Structures are given as structure tokens and as C-alpha cells.
Homo-oligomer: A and B are copies of this chain.
Amino acid sequence: MGNCSQGCQHYFCRPKNTNVRVSLPAVCFVWQVAMIILFGVFVRYDKEADAHWSETKKEENITSNVENDFYYRYPSFQDVHVMIFVGFGFLMTFLKRYSFGGVGFNFLIAAFGLQWALLMQGWFHSLDPVTGYIYIGIENLINADFCVAGCLIAFGALLGKVSPVQLMVMTLFGVTLYAVEEYIILNLLHAIDAGGSMVIHIFGAYYGLTISWVLYRPNLHQSKRLHGSVYHSDVFAMIGTLFLWMYWPSFNSAICYHGDGQHRAAINTYLSLAASVLTTFAISSLSAKRGKLDMVHIQNATLAGGVAMGTAAEFMIQPYGALIVGFCCGIVSTFGYLVLTPFMEKCLKIQDTCGIHNLHAMPGVLGGVVGAITAATASNAVYSPEGLINTFDFQGNFATRSVTTQGAYQAAAMCVALIFGIGGGALVGLILRFPIWGDAEDDNCFDDEVYWELPEDEESIPPILEYNNHMVTKNPDICESNFSVDQS
């Protein structure tokens, strides 16, 4: 390894066709230039971010600065932003030798994805037919982060098995599909999905799982030595877990409109998450010899409660309803890690590195079902007439829609998300199978060595230094020791 990192040419040391020196920079440059051009043609500040705001305020008789949408949404936006980059990023550092790839590629595709998402979502939601401009404000930034989340979920299934170029392509298509799916679900079907159980989690999870199925690696067991964690990599992953867990109430409430809606969404999510922690610990302990807990479950299944509260976040399901949702999710998700993931890999040929089927797919479906049922059973008594209109946005073309119909459309929305995820995943999977993307061999997966310059090991100290290096001269084994950590 020490040698490899310095370009050893032994047969075994020469990884094949994983050279991305041309493709990765090309993709990054071309797409970033395209972004600049498209933003130049289409994107401008929305009125609340434009310097004309001071005049707009006069026209609209707005007196207080705090009326600017920025002050309502910015704190939640920052929480969501942390979930995207630190939450997802560090959750994927759990592999012993793929921490650079986990947090680094997450960083890359998120930074690209959010630019593309601003455009795609803008075309569908914020395009002004008169001027032909997309006007962006804080809410667009939040929605872009949401869109990116869908692709990062898919990344979880592919972690360690694909090249950064493939991830960029996966993100390009993923964001595009997401924007269309989101438009159909939120605008055409007029389904409610504040926290994206369907739009984000079902779509993202099945998108990633289908790609992983198409890219099935029969000999992945040859990388088994690296397909696990070490002590400290599991602690790093807990950073991601906790920031996702803590900020999930912001995720589910970020784009709820009304004071009480955001307030309620935060409470529901907070409670649901708390409940899923307890059932996760329970099942994890119950399933193991001598009741020993498994870090994989704690890192992932504890979050299922937040996923499942996405759709019904601002509904009046009452605190105990949120607890029940979290209770079930913790159980379902942990069982998934115990039973389904091995089964899917063995029988369905789906290799799901992070177990997104357990953390996002199943809880997402559960969340969609809960949302459909609670919507269908909503009533004026519980919501108050005005509250019902606010919560389900029964206005304009949808002023006359009944809650039962709404429930049906919620269910339909779930199917749309599923279809887009599976259909889109199959398509993109085929594209990613072209042998041009520089992915690694089956015996070389989950290894940062392939795409990253890893830190040098101590052996490369010039002998002359050893003389001044009293530490090393005193205990020679330190070389090995630093070296050892170096490799970890």
C-alpha cells in the first residue's frame, strides 16, 4: 500500500480502469460552466432578496423587517443544510477504509445537485411566465437541499461500489427525475408531503436500490475484508446519525406554511424520533447473543421515526400518534437490518451498502400510508374549518376537494414516487453500466485507495531524519504503530 500510493506497478497493485483523471474534471468543469450559463439566462433573486424589496415593502405596506420570509425559514434552512452535508456525509463514514469517499463524495454530489435542483425545481415551481425568469429565495434553497437528500439516499445503496463520475451522473438524473415527480405529486395530485416521506425517501430509496440491482457485483465478497467498520469509524458515523436525528424536526417543518403547522410538525417529529430510539435498542439487543447492541442499528434505525413522520408531519395525529409511528418504525427498520438486507443481497441480488431499504424505503412507505389514512380521516372538528384549509391547502382548484379524496390522492402520490424511483433507477442503472465510468473491480470496493491519495505511512521517513528523531530512535516500534493507524 505504502508503495501503491507511490504508483507501484506490480500486476496486483495496478487497479484497472479506475483512472478518473480525465472524466471527473471534465464532468465537473462542463457541468459547472453549464450551471453558470443557465443561471445567467434563467435565475434571478426573488422579490424578498432583491434590492427593490425596500420599495416592494412600501407598496405592500409591510412595516417590519422580520416579515421577510428569510427570518421565518433561515434557522430551519441551516439545520437542513447541516443534515445534508454533515448528517448524510458522516453517516457514510462508517466503513473502515471508505470514510474519505463517504464524506467527500457526499460533499461533491450535494454541491452539484443543489445547483441543478435550483434550476429544475425552479422551472416547475418558480418560473415566471412573463419574464421567463426563475426567482429564487430562501425557500428555493431549502427545496434544493431536499431534492439533494433524495440523491444522497440513493448514494447510500451504492456506497463504495461506484466511481465519483457515476455518482455525478446518478445525481444529474436523480435531481431531474425528482423535480418531475415532485411536480406531479405536489402540484398535479396536490398531495401533502411536508417532510418528503414519499417525494424524498420513497423515491430516493427505490432509485438507489434499483441502480444497485442493475449494477449487481457477483464477486463483491472479494472486498469483504473492507466491508465493515472499525471502532473509530463507527464513532464518526454517530456524528452523522445524531445531527440527522436532532435536526429532523427542522427537516419536516422547514416548508410548512403556518405558525401552527411548523410548530406541530416539529413536535410530531421530535416525539416520533424519540420512540424509534427505544424500539431500535430493544430489537437490536433482543436479536443478539447476550443482548449485545449493534452499532449499525443504532446509527440507522433510530432515524426511521423521522422518515415516517414526513408526510403526516403537520397533520393533527396527536402526540401519541407520533409515538406510535416511531414505535413501529424502530421495530420495522431494525428487523430490516437483521433479516431483509441479507435476504435482498442473497436472493434479490440487491447490494445495499447502508441499508437504505430499512432506513428510507420501508419507513417512507409507512409514512405515506399514515399520511393517506390521517388525511382521509381529517375533520373540521379536529382541524377547525380554516385549519383544515390551511393544512391541506384546499384552495384554488382544490377548494372543493374532500378529505377522503385527499386520502386517495395521497395513496396515488406514493405510487408515483415508487414508479419514478424504480423506473428511473432502471434507466440510470443501465447508463451506469457502460464500462467508461472508472468504477473499481469487485475485489477493490470500499477502498479509498482507489480514488484518494491516502496519507503516507511512516516508513517513508528518510533515514537521515531518524537520527534527529529521538522519539523514533527511542522506540522503533512507533514507526509500525503510526504506520498501523495510517492504514486503518
Contact = CB atoms under 8 A, between A and B. Distances in A.
A228 B454 CA distance: 11
B484 A482 contact: yes
A99 to B, nearest CB: 5
Contacts of A72: 65-66, 71
A455 B274 contact: no
B115 A271 contact: yes
A103 interface: yes
Contacts of A23: 291
Contacts of A267: 45, 49, 136-138, 141
Interface residues of A, number: 177
A142 to B, nearest CB: 11
B54 A258 contact: yes
A431 interface: no
A4 B62 CA distance: 68
A4 to B, nearest CB: 8
A464 B29 CA distance: 43
Contacts of A52: 260, 383-384, 387
A278 interface: yes
Interface in A105-154: 107-108, 111-112, 114-115, 118, 136-138, 141
A340 interface: no
A283 B29 CA distance: 9
A266 B71 contact: no
A483 B487 CA distance: 10
Given A32-B279, A86-B243, A232 B54 contact: no
Given A12-B473, A222-B469, 18 more contacts: A10-B474, A40-B318, A53-B387, A68-B262, A69-B263, A70-B263, A89-B242, A99-B231, A100-B295, A115-B275, A137-B263, A224-B462, A231-B485, A231-B486, A233-B455, A293-B451, A477-B484, A486-B488
